[in-house]
Structure 1
Amino acid sequence: MEVIINNNTLALVLGDITKQTTEAIVNAANGTLMGGGGVDGAIHRAAGKKLLEACKQVRQNQLNGEHLPTGEAVITKGYELPAKFVIHTVGPVWSGDKKGKDALLANCYKNSLRLAVDHHLTSISFPSISTGVYHFPIDKAAEIAMKTIVAFLQEKSFGKVVMTLFSEKDYETYAAKLRDILA
């Protein structure tokens, strides 16, 4: 599915984010930036060992050794990936207190898009942030992602945003939310 919003393209695709050829891909990272499971692990494996070294440098130089806060984003090179850059963002974990989780998830998308703009990028691919091991409900996550991205594209001249979805079910959920928002 592909739609044009304010001369920008928003595409939903079924596939592997590590194969995307946009200028940047977004990593649904954990706060340590040291790799992990799911999308995070797949991106680290595909990018090669230099990505881990770059993430260590970001933690040391930009984060003063601290974890990347939930909803924030940082950028590294893409190394062995087709994408030139990886934007790392930490999504909220859906457990315990649910208060504020929607805003934190929206911030993942907003801050990643702002970082792309700050680096003069015109194309970015997102995964479905927080819906894997972080257990954010897919319906709620899809609505937040689509509303946030559509609002951004309505305000900015950016280029192309791709939602790269791992399963047919996720794709259908995102497509339905996008159709509802644009209706």
Structure 2
Amino acid sequence: MAEEYLYGITLEGPNASEVWDPEHRAEDPDGTSQHFGGDQKLIIKMALLGPEAKAGELNVLEVEATGLKGPIKIPIALLEMGKTSQIILDLSFPDPPVTFTLVKGSGPVHIVGHNLLGSHIEEFEDMEDMEDEMEEENIDDEDDEKAPQKKRKPTAEAKKNGTKRPKTDEAVDK
């Protein structure tokens, strides 16, 4: 099973920013440092406004990360209390660092997701692929069951011999 942890940050105030970079050691409140290793992946699932966000104020959340052709900086959420207070995202960041910035508005904007660790990342992705394949097979099975059965007309030879063919195509047992 994949080793994963909840990830969550809050951006509050103009130009608030937060960096996800597991390659740098983080320090615990007790003064010890911890290092989870470089093989990590960040998956962001949701961005939402806190209840204390100002009504009518547009909050623009931007991410800066490494893309296929190099660094990329792009807005990922436009949130406004009373209109769009949350948005579902499905963003995956395999390469740190990733910087989240509140480029407009004062928030608070909460960003929620999970952090996958170590060699379990490939295992997690394989499980997702397997689930997708199983869903496709289930859809195909349902389509087969819903398909109308065709009626066959007796052939001239069958009429002559007095035998009849079955009225419907029999489904092959799976």
Question: TM-score normalized by structure 2?
Answer: 0.25
Q: Larger Rg: 1 or 2?
A: 2
Higher share in strand: 2
